[in-house]
Amino acid sequence: MRTNIIIDDQLIDDAIKATGLKTKREVIELGLKTLIKLKQQEKIKAYRGNLKWEGDLEDIRTNP
């Protein structure tokens, strides 16, 4: 989808330097993907302490 938006040039430049990416498009796509992953992780964190664990963690660690 093509969209025209105004983005702070310094913000884009800083993101390009920080990531080593070459284009504004790459930076924006990475930013969006990262935002989505963070939001998904937040949803997963909501289950912390609410799920019952069954299994032997030590066995899983030592016998792959």
The total domain count for the chain is 1
Is the CB of residue 27 less than 8 Å from the CB of residue 16?
Answer: yes
**Within a domain: residue 19?**
yes
Is the CB of residue 15 less than 8 Å from the CB of residue 27?
Answer: yes
Q: Which pLDDT score, from 0 to 100, does residue 47 have?
A: 85
**Within a domain: residue 1?**
no
**Within a domain: residue 36?**
yes
pTM exceeds 0.85 for this model: no
Per-residue model confidence as pLDDT tens digits over 6-62: 999 999 999 999 999 999 999 999 999 999 999 999 988 888 888 888 888 888 898
**Within a domain: residue 50?**
yes
**Within a domain: residue 57?**
yes
Is 90 exceeded by the pLDDT of residue 63?
no
Q: Which pLDDT score, from 0 to 100, does residue 30 have?
A: 97
**Within a domain: residue 3?**
no
**Within a domain: residue 4?**
no
* d(C-alpha 39, C-alpha 6), whole Å: 24
Domain that holds residue 50: 9-62
